[in-house]
Amino acid sequence: MKILVGVKRVVDANVKVRVKSDGTGVDLTNAKMAINPFCEIAIEEAIRMQEAGSAEEIIAISIGPQVCQEQIRTALALGADRGILVKTDLHIEPLEIAKILQAVVVKEQIDLVILGKQSIDTDNNQVGQMLAALCNYPQGTFASKAELKDGKIEVTREIDGGEQTVLLNLPAVITTDLRLNEPRYASLPNIMKAKQKPIDLKTPEDYGVDISPRLKSLKVEEPTKRETGIKVASVEELVGKLRKEGAI
């Protein structure tokens, strides 16, 4: 079985981002970058499947500028076998990402695609679902458990009412939730070995995908600061304050 894993370069989850003074976007100057946390979970799950003898090859793919090679190298150090960088300096939208991934799935004859359910920068939560629709593959989104069984994959999904278990025929697409696993750290020997693993450089044009932007960001603003909370002595006082402020 061949597994394709998505790897997105994002600002490190521990970094407090700042909005540019002109409101055109987020200031990434000197910001620490890392693999999207949900993508790390996807990599870990693919590695565990390979260690169990269920997967022969893991391909890590990233779409973005040249510096995304750093995150692919990290994925290779964690256990992926080879990488693909689809190089573009443009901001690329979810549908175009899904179209590129679809072309890679067809070319590489992928049996299972594992993606993070969303990225912590744009928070779109769209690519996995779009890819499954384009490929006409079954999908198991928000996976908290995934187990291969007799050529199929059983996925336990996080849903509003609790959990849902689905059995998917392969090839399939799954997206990872936080409870699926705990990602490992790359060891120093594996980091050194990763430098010798191949990364294929491609462009969107190689896959016949037009990535011309269809959306335009008008303005980016800091969220409104929350006011300090107060304590009330009784329900009556609470209701009175809410009425005074026009909340009820």
The pLDDT of residue 57: 96
CB 9 within 8 Å of CB 121? no
Question: Could you report the per-residue pLDDT of 20-75, keeping only the tens digit for each?
Answer: 888 888 888 888 999 999 999 999 999 999 999 999 999 999 999 999 999 999 99
Q: Taking Cα atoms as reference points, which of 92, 20, 98, 63 lies closest to residue 202?
A: 63
State which H helix or E strand residue 191 sits in: helix 188-194
Q: 246 pLDDT exceeds 80?
A: no
Question: Could you report the per-residue pLDDT of 152-165, keeping only the tens digit for each?
Answer: 999 999 998 899 99
Question: Taking the model in full, what pTM does it have?
Answer: 0.87
**Non-local CB neighbours of 174 within 8 Å, separated by 6+ positions:** 112, 113, 114, 115, 128, 139, 140, 141, 143, 146, 153, 155, 168
Residue 24 CA, chain-centre distance (Å), reads: 24
Q: Taking Cα atoms as reference points, which of 103, 93, 80, 74 lies closest to residue 5?
A: 80
DSSP assignment of 1-61, as one string? Answer: -EEEEE--EEE-TTS--EE-TTSSSEE-TT--EEE-HHHHHHHHHHHHHHHTTS-SEEEEE
Rounded to an integer, what distance in angstroms lies between the CA atom of residue 26 and that of residue 39? 21
Map residue 78 onto helix, strand or coil: helix
Instruction: Classify domain 2-222 by CATH number.
Output: 3.40.50.620
Q: Taking Cα atoms as reference points, which of 45, 43, 65 lies closest to residue 54?
A: 45
Q: If phi over 0 gives left and psi between -120 and 50 gives alpha, with beta otherwise, what is residue 186?
A: beta
Rounded to an integer, what distance in angstroms lies between the CA atom of residue 3 and that of residue 48? 12
Rounded to an integer, what distance in angstroms lies between the CA atom of residue 44 and that of residue 143? 13
Question: Mean pLDDT, the chain, as a whole number?
Answer: 93
| Two structure tokens written together for 147 | 């187990």
DSSP-derived pairing of the beta strands 9-11 and 33-35: antiparallel
- What residues does each domain of the chain span? 2-222
Indicate the pLDDT class of residue 240, thresholds 50, 70 and 90.
Answer: confident
Indicate the pLDDT class of residue 147, thresholds 50, 70 and 90.
Answer: very high
The pLDDT of residue 17: 86
Choice between 86 and 232, residue whose per-residue pLDDT is larger: 86
The pLDDT of residue 146: 95
CB 7 within 8 Å of CB 24? no
Map residue 147 onto helix, strand or coil: strand
CB atoms under 10 Å from CB of 182, counted, come to: 9
